[in-house]
Structure 1
Amino acid sequence: MRAIFSTLTLVIFIAAYGQSKLVFEKTDHNFGDIREESGPAEYTFKFVNAGDEPIKITSVKASCGCTTPGWTKEEVMPGDSGYVKAKYNPRNRPGRFRKSLRLTSTDASSNMTLYISGFVKPKPKTPEQEFPVLAGDLRLKYRRMNIGKITTEKPVEKTFDVYNYSDTVTVLNADEMTLPDHIKIELVQEFLNPREIGQIRITYDPIKKADYGFVSDNIQLSANSEENLSVIAVIEEYFPEMTAEELDNAPKLEVSERSYDFGRVTAGVVLEKEFELTNAGKEKLELRTVKSNCGCITYEIKKKGIKKGKSQTLKVSFDTSEMRGNQYKSITIYSNDPVAPTQIITIKGKVEKAD
């Protein structure tokens, strides 16, 4: 079949693609918006052999398995036309995309790359997919409900979406819930009708929790909850606004070293390191707690109260038994230093396998 190209169009394409004998109508196609549930989107790139010798496409390689190429398999005679097809599968690929197809032919000057692009609109989720976590008659989006970073100033509230997937009206009964004293949970609405989306309100009291740093509590919303749920938060001490004089008189934590590199060690060794914690302020320093990001690290400290000008030794032990390769661990110290209540010590090195 002879392709019908205007002289002007042919001149433009040859000018744009140099000595390429295969002249395409376009080399970049944008599908625009396509729906994930609509199945593969397909576009055909058409070309004409503008040379004086037959040309055969030997391969078209897509940059992604999500794109299936097809092309004219026989030789394309001078003046005849051919095609390269691109079929893009949007399944499980929401969002923008840009893929390439690398064309190779018997004419090296005609080897080129074609492109397809677009935006995949995600398939609408069912309520069961949107709320995959079971909790009695309710479904939630996540097993872990994150309260975020909070201070000990006062209780905080946060809401989370829930879905009543049962066939009956649902209420939350405090007697059926398993909650610690510092957590209270209630429906924002008085009740939820069947197949209705609503919200639960969590009231979290960090003062009653009496802990600092990252904390987690396991909870149950009903006796027949099928999933393990947890409420997490990061707690820091609250300090009211202070005058310059008050800050000058406040406790001040100074750490002898902020990082320690133990170098290369053999797995199984228990490393020990001591850090000096000094109160450079004028009021008594209280160490609220010390936490590490790994169970492999333990610590010892004799007293958590440090008078002005005095020091305490923080003895840290790092068990390398289950470690291999480069290690980066941290120890976080929480205190009543109003300027720097949270201070981090980093421990790093390389653990090598024993011979």
Structure 2
Amino acid sequence: MKLLTQTIILTLFFTLLQFSSQAQSLEPPKIIWKVNRVDLGTILEEQGNQEVAFEFTNSQDSLFFIEDIWLECGCTTVEFSKDTLAKGQSGKVRVGFDPTSAFGFFSKLIVVKGNLSGVQDSLFLEGTSIPYPTDPLRAYPVKNGDLGFRLKKINMGEVFDNEPKIKYVEFFNFGAQDLEKGAFRSETPSYIWVEQVQNLVRPQERGLLMIRYESANRNGDLGFFEDQVPVFWENIEGSRINLEIIADLFEYFPPVLKNEVDDLPQLFIQQKEIDLKEISSKSTVRRTVTLTNRGRKVLEIRKIQGNCECLIIESPKDQLNPGESIELSLTFDPIGRKGIDQRNIYIFTNDPINPVQLVVLKSRID
């Protein structure tokens, strides 16, 4: 009986605690931050201390002021508004970061404690800090004109059509002239934007290029792409170089509720791996793959892309009704190849759960 009573009391306690927590979560925030997370991007060591400002507004009828701010480490410094703010008034928290304190990716926590009950907000400062190289020739082995890069190609990675992808690329100025931001020019397609970050990059200094990729401007195209983008400084003769930019473009689908899954288009591939075993390099090979729409809405095949010109892929149609199947025709020409080989075939559809599916064609070519 005593155990039963204790169990009931504990159950009531946790139930009341849950209701209290839910009630607090429904309360509007007392302090509204313009942003609570700032990404500094790529920071070069020689750029020195970085400073950002977090802006906030008092949304309560009560007067507000910051009592204290706690920092995660000595690599950050802080200055903040010490005034007492009435409702609707705004203040700032300025945070400085020393890029020489740590190298690589960082995420620093800043906790702001206010005089009002429940005000203990978390701010985050993130980025990637890169140290100055002891041997620039070794650190930037890819020479492109007078500039040195770490890699031959700029890989943007996965780029979705719902928002642009931004990447910062470092370079080393091995030339004898200053590279001025105002003189920088690029000949980019509508979906790529390139600009020099620093106002001036002197000889034997590093700089950053900001690459902005907007796949939505590629008219819905999907898959792997490579672009040659010319850039130059108009005041420096012979400074023209080509940047090789690669990207994998995908369509964005919002999250789906579990009870909605069966009502959506669903691509089912009967055989995702085809082993051709031993084949001759002198004759083409043909196979078929069955695609089925197991959903309750029309399945649209957006694109089918192979990773080699040696593949010919033919589809009888690009829309499948619920329950419908089609045969995808694959023709592989192994001429000029020898040994273990693998070809990848990517199928892009409007299936929001699995919008991109892979079929692998394996063989051993004699």
CA offset at residue 134 of structure 1? 4.0
Return the alpha-carbon distance in structure 2 between the equivalents of residues 232 and 149 of structure 1.
10
CA contact (8 A) 2:184 2:231 kept: no
Name the counterpart of 2:170: 161
CA contact (8 A) 1:135 1:221 kept: no
Name the counterpart of 1:203: 212
CA offset at residue 279 of structure 1? 1.2
Alignment of 1:1-355 (within 5 A): 125-135=134-144, 138-172=147-181, 176-209=185-218, 210-222=220-232, 224=238, 228-352=242-366
Return the alpha-carbon distance in structure 2 between the equivalents of residues 220 and 134 of structure 1.
15
* Secondary structure of residue in 1 paired with 2:344: strand
* Secondary structure of residue in 1 paired with 2:200: coil
Question: 1:264–1:133: structure 2 CA closer, same or farther, 3 Å change rule?
Answer: closer
CA offset at residue 326 of structure 1? 2.8
Deviations 1:130-153 (A, max 9, x none): 334344554322220111223222
Question: 1:126–1:327: structure 2 CA closer, same or farther, 3 Å change rule?
Answer: closer
* Secondary structure of residue in 2 paired with 1:154: coil
Question: 1:256–1:197: structure 2 CA closer, same or farther, 3 Å change rule?
Answer: same
* TM-score normalised by length of structure 2: 0.57
Return the alpha-carbon distance in structure 2 between the equivalents of residues 302 and 173 of structure 1.
53
Deviations 1:252-306 (A, max 9, x none): 0011211222233322111111112111111221212112222211111132222
* Secondary structure of residue in 1 paired with 2:177: coil
AA matched with 1:202: I
Aligned length: 229
Farther off after superposition, 135-144 or 182-191:
135-144
CA contact (8 A) 2:159 2:213 kept: no
Deviations 1:178-206 (A, max 9, x none): 32221101122233233321211111112
Question: 1:297–1:225: structure 2 CA closer, same or farther, 3 Å change rule?
Answer: farther
Name the counterpart of 1:10: none
CA offset at residue 226 of structure 1? 6.5
Name the counterpart of 1:102: none
Return the alpha-carbon distance in structure 1 between the equivalents of residues 209 and 192 of structure 2.
12
AA matched with 2:248: V
Question: 1:225–1:258: structure 2 CA closer, same or farther, 3 Å change rule?
Answer: farther
Question: 1:173–1:302: structure 2 CA closer, same or farther, 3 Å change rule?
Answer: farther
* Secondary structure of residue in 1 paired with 2:261: helix
Return the alpha-carbon distance in structure 2 between the equivalents of residues 173 and 247 of structure 1.
52
Mark the runs of 5 or more structure 1 residues left unpaired by the alignment. 1-123
Farther off after superposition, 170-179 or 230-239:
170-179
Return the alpha-carbon distance in structure 2 between the equivalents of residues 273 and 336 of structure 1.
25
Return the alpha-carbon distance in structure 2 between the equivalents of residues 225 and 278 of structure 1.
53
Question: 1:211–1:173: structure 2 CA closer, same or farther, 3 Å change rule?
Answer: farther
CA offset at residue 228 of structure 1? 4.4
Return the alpha-carbon distance in structure 2 between the equivalents of residues 172 and 291 of structure 1.
39
Return the alpha-carbon distance in structure 2 between the equivalents of residues 159 and 343 of structure 1.
30
CA contact (8 A) 2:153 2:243 kept: yes
* TM-score normalised by length of structure 1: 0.59
Question: 1:138–1:280: structure 2 CA closer, same or farther, 3 Å change rule?
Answer: same
AA matched with 2:223: G
* Secondary structure of residue in 2 paired with 1:257: coil
User: Which structure has the larger Rg?
Assistant: 1
CA offset at residue 225 of structure 1? 5.0
Return the alpha-carbon distance in structure 1 between the equivalents of residues 170 and 303 of structure 2.
33
Question: 1:173–1:289: structure 2 CA closer, same or farther, 3 Å change rule?
Answer: farther
Deviations 1:1-23 (A, max 9, x none): xxxxxxxxxxxxxxxxxxxxxxx
CA offset at residue 126 of structure 1? 3.4
Cα RMSD (Å): 2.4
Return the alpha-carbon distance in structure 2 between the equivalents of residues 148 and 348 of structure 1.
26
* Secondary structure of residue in 2 paired with 1:215: strand
CA offset at residue 231 of structure 1? 0.9
Question: 1:171–1:155: structure 2 CA closer, same or farther, 3 Å change rule?
Answer: same
Return the alpha-carbon distance in structure 1 between the equivalents of residues 178 and 184 of structure 2.
18
CA offset at residue 175 of structure 1? 8.0
AA matched with 2:206: I
